[in-house]
Amino acid sequence: MLPFLTTLLLLLLSSPLVIAGEVHEGGACSVSNNKLQIGTYEFTSDCDFFTYCNQNTGKCEQKGCRRHDFPLGYRPGAKLPPRCDADKFCPDEEDACQDKLPVGSDCQLNRDDECQPPPNAKELADQSGHGLNVNGAVCLNFQCMWANVTLGLPCAVENTAYISYGAHDEYIDVVSRDNCRIGLYCDTTQKVCIQQKNLATQCDADKECLSYNCGANGTCGKDVSESNKLPIWMYVIVGIGIFGGMFGTLFGLFSLHGKQREVEREKRMQYWREQTAFRQNILQVKESARQSFLSQGSVSGQSSMLHMSRDPDGLSDEYHPPKFSSKSSHPRQPVLDDRGDTSRVGHTSHF
């Protein structure tokens, strides 16, 4: 079994691979493989993004023009194929620029830009962005036409079913195009141009509404590309709310900080009041001590004055020496003791 798989792998590697859309420049290709993808209608061929299949040589060659300003697959700074002039167009194959086609000529699907515009192109051109025509010219059923059919006249219509993909499923989206003037649509049943409908009018398809939006409820809704326009009073209310919120926030912060400042200020005032009271108490204690000291000194001075008034000499009674009643009338004589010693001679006084 293993040798068989190895042989099969070698055969596959040695055989030329021709995968649609992946053949590089110089590789073999066939124009019969040129087609539009089902569901998306994207043009594909055997060649890669940078080449096209040359019908004469049967090989992929570098593209001679480009349809978009930023074509797919090119790296930044790479050399791009040229854009075509205003009177020319670049086909889906992007092989070379070609002259625009007159009315009635064959054209490629949805390639309104391949058709020559009418003389009154500015009047007929679609300015809504819904892709109704290009400069008043439209390609319907692979044929160039002008979008100039007026109300009630026969018209041509083209319905193309695209596959659209949702979040969980896929569905068919039918795009209907016609050659009626702007503001009209071609009724599929009657095949005549009919006036498009205003908002909130019953509808069956997007093309019936001026907004090109037929809602799920079967009435014409607002254009999906239209921005929501709010009444002026809502802007006024929003502005008032914004400025009110700003000023309210500022006022709230100011009030909160003011209360905090008052609390801190009250704490500081209480501290200084306590310090002042403490200082006053100290001063009162010192003053009381001084008054007490002065009062004691005054009492002591008064007592001294009282004693001095009692003693003319300035001495009190306690300090007066005792007074003798009389002096001795006898002369002092030495007295001898039994040994005849005069060292212990005393004086005899009579009180």
pLDDT tens column, 204-219 = 999 999 999 999 999 9
pLDDT of residue 248: 92
Positive or negative, the CA dihedral 194, 199, 205, 206 is positive
348 falls within a domain: no
Extract the tokens encoding 222: 């607002």
Q: Decide if pLDDT at 338 tops 80.
A: no
Buried b (16+ CB within 10 A) or exposed e, 182-217: bebbbbeeeeebbebbeeeeebeebbbbbbbbbeee
Strands (E), the chain: 35-36, 43-44, 51-53, 60-62, 88-89, 98-99, 137-140, 143-146, 157-165, 170-178, 184-186, 193-195
pLDDT of residue 304: 56
Q: Decide if pLDDT at 150 tops 90.
A: yes
126 falls within a domain: yes
Question: Model pTM greater than 0.85?
Answer: no
SS3 of residue 206 by DSSP: helix
Instruction: Find the distance separating the first CA and the last CA of the chain, reported in whole Å.
Output: 171
Residues 25 and 49 in one domain: yes
pLDDT of residue 56: 94
pLDDT of residue 302: 57
The whole-angstrom separation of Cα 132 and Cα 110 is 10
28 falls within a domain: yes
Q: Which residue has the tokens 């926030």?
A: 249
Residues 30 and 62 in one domain: yes
Residues 151 and 202 in one domain: no
- CA contacts within 13 A on the Cβ side of 42: 6
Q: Decide if pLDDT at 318 tops 70.
A: no
311 falls within a domain: no
Between 178 and 332, where is the model more confident? 178
Q: Which residue has the tokens 């070609």?
A: 98
Residues 202 and 227 in one domain: yes
Residues 81 and 53 in one domain: yes
Residues 46 and 79 in one domain: yes
Q: In the listed set 138, 156, 183, which residue is the last one of a domain according to the structure? A: 183
pLDDT digits (tens, 9 = 90+) for 78-101: 999 999 999 999 999 999 999 999
Average the pLDDT over 7-34 and give the result: 66
149 falls within a domain: yes
The whole-angstrom separation of Cα 75 and Cα 90 is 21
Residues 109 and 176 in one domain: yes
User: What are the Cα distances from residue 68, in Å, to 42, 49, 162?
Assistant: 14, 13, 22
Residues 104 and 169 in one domain: yes
Q: Collect all residues with Cβ–Cβ distance below 8 Å to 334 and sequence separation of at least 6.
A: 342, 345
Would you place residue 326 in the very low, low, confident or very high pLDDT band (cuts 50, 70, 90)?
very low
Average the pLDDT over 176-193 and give the result: 95
153 falls within a domain: yes
Extract the tokens encoding 175: 């795009």
Nearest to 117 by CA among 96, 140, 90, 147: 147
Would you place residue 152 in the very low, low, confident or very high pLDDT band (cuts 50, 70, 90)?
very high
Q: Decide if pLDDT at 15 tops 90.
A: no
Q: Decide if pLDDT at 332 tops 90.
A: no
Residues 73 and 115 in one domain: no
In order, the DSSP letters of 134-203 are BTTEEEETTEEEES-B-TTSB--EEEEEEEEE-SS-EEEEEEEEE-BPTTEEE-TTT-BEEEPB-TT-B-
Lowest-confidence region among 191-200, 254-263, 322-331: 322-331
Q: Which domain holds residue 127?
A: 100-183
The whole-angstrom separation of Cα 123 and Cα 299 is 129
Max intra-chain CA distance, the chain: 194
Residues 200 and 179 in one domain: no
Average the pLDDT over 281-308 and give the result: 74
Between 1 and 258, where is the model more confident? 258
9 falls within a domain: no
CB neighbours (10 Å) of residue 155?
Answer: 23
Contact (CB, 8 A) for 68 and 43: no
310 falls within a domain: no
Residues 202 and 236 in one domain: yes
The domain tally of the chain equals 3
pLDDT of residue 166: 84
Residues 107 and 65 in one domain: no
Phi/psi at 218 (5° precision): 80, 20
